[in-house]
Copies of this chain bind each other. A is one copy, B any other.
Amino acid sequence: MKHYLSINDVDSLPAWVEEAITLKQNPLQDNALGKGKTICLLFFNNSLRTRLSTQKAAMNLGMEVMVMNFGSEGWILEYEDGTIMDQGTSEHIKEAARVVSQYCNVVAIRAFAKLKDKAKDEAEEVLTGFAKYASVPVVNMESSTAHPLQALADAITLKEFNTKINPKVVLSWAPHPKALPHAVANSFVEMMKLQNANFVITHPEGYELNSEITKGCTIEHDQKRALENADFVYVKNWSSYSEYGKVLKQDSSWMMTQAKLGGAKFMHCLPVRRNVVVEDAVLDGDQSLVVHQANNRTFSAQIVLKKILESL
């Protein structure tokens, strides 16, 4: 594996999930693998879980870690070719990516969608720019359109808690006061397409995700019907994709409640707004897997870094 940009960079999801669960039993088992190797975590946006779990995973592997908030600590990057750089940007991605590559063995990048310009967000200029010009492997710590470390952690969590051959897994949209990106939902959908499951996506009309990603998935606009007999309910807000970045609906009727959840397990990537996205009773109850999911972020990062280190 050269880069880890998408969940589709996993060659065998079941094998990786199995291996991640094994190393979770003994997180320091590969502590010699990363000796003398360095990872550089570059944050263009805020982070709690990703920041700490990716550091932890790298340290478990014996790597050295350098963390940098690119926006506030570095220089504003230019991504366009041929620009006369006499305005706000001070350094081109071509130089930045090549230079950073020389100080580490792996670069990990977080750069969210700005939700102003669909084409620009889908071009993934930060992640793609680093992947194109870096001379070392690049790991996606959430880009405009994908969050594959989260999706891999979710796959691990599903494996740990699933008891059925063909569980019913529902991805349900939820309300949120701010416009949020599609990255988590996209990667969850892509990951589910690699699984055996009865997978249903439910959201109000107007909240269709990118149809290239959801192609082949069941989409149900009636949340109640979608949730019937669900084994796992993954809740997440996203803004409109067709009316790009718009918040079309805020009413609380789509909030997840214990009553709606029934006997299903509840999943969310966090951070989560209580009593907006999901009611307290769900998060405070036994069916919530959110803390397990967050724990598995360490092991999804660790399996990805392990695979990269093995291929160096």
Contacts and interface: CB of A to CB of B under 8 A. Distances in A.
A165 to B, nearest CB: 30
Contact of A273 (B48, B90, B272): B90
A104 B72 contact: no
B48 A75 contact: yes
A270 B177 contact: no
Interface in A48-98: 48-49, 51-53, 55-56, 59, 64, 66, 68-69, 72-75, 78, 81-87, 89-92, 94-96, 98
A156 B55 CA distance: 33
A66 B90 contact: no
A78 B274 contact: yes
Contacts of A46: 72-75
Interface stretch (A137-145, A213-221, A275-283): A275-283
Contact of A104 (B49, B52, B69, B275): B52
Interface in A14-40: 28, 36, 38, 40
A98 B51 CA distance: 15
Interface of A: 28, 36, 38, 40, 43, 46-49, 51-53, 55-56, 59, 64, 66, 68-69, 72-75, 78, 81-87, 89-92, 94-96, 98-100, 102-104, 177, 270-276, 280, 283-284, 290-291, 294-295, 298
